[in-house]
Amino acid sequence: MLRIISGRVKGKKLATPRGKDIRPTPVRLRKRLFDILGYDILGASFLDGFAGTGAVGLEAYSLGAGKVVFVESDPEAVKILKKNIERVGNPPQIRVLETEFNMGVRELYQQGEKFDFVFIDPPYDFLERANPLKILYKKDILKEGGLILFQKGCQQRVKKMFFPVQREIKEGKNCILFLRREE
């Protein structure tokens, strides 16, 4: 059972998909990520791209993020995501964009939005045909000093990173790369 692991809504159960198209970030990896981010999450703006169940963005909310935006295009995933947002009380600082990731980033850029953290966990087959880092590079929606948190399979290769890797954490077959735009 998927749950929020810490913060103000700790222990809240989250809905999960029946199929394997949506793969929530493993609990141990999510815990390590937020242990590293620590108090930097307080009041932060957090974008959860390819949101799926929303577990990562909802964990950020639970730990005190000031704003959380989810981008998800799959209709079934959006239903689950909205159900999970309801389970944490439909807070006003949470917003869902029901669109493809690149379109969502363009929309946020046009609205002048900037984020402290951008978490992306694209479907592994998506990385075979597209690179979500490219749109993040072109449409700078990171605040100064912000981080892109890029989850991928540890064995997966990405043709062009666009940003330097600051840190990498591994848990089983999953990795999260911490990327920061060079000034």
At 181 the pLDDT is 81
- The structure's pTM equals 0.95
At 123 the pLDDT is 87
What are all long-range contacts of 26-33, with beta carbons under 8 Å and residues at least 24 apart?
26/171, 26/172, 26/174, 27/2, 27/3, 28/171, 28/172, 29/151, 29/169, 29/171, 29/172, 29/174, 29/176, 30/5, 30/55, 30/56, 30/59, 31/5, 31/6, 32/169, 32/171, 33/149, 33/169, 33/176
At 176 the pLDDT is 97
Contact in structure between 105 and 113 (CB atoms under 8 Å) = no
At 20 the pLDDT is 57
At 102 the pLDDT is 95
At 45 the pLDDT is 98
The ranges of the chain with pLDDT < 70 are 19-22, 183
At 90 the pLDDT is 97
Domains annotated for the chain, with CATH where assigned, are 27-175 (3.40.50.150)
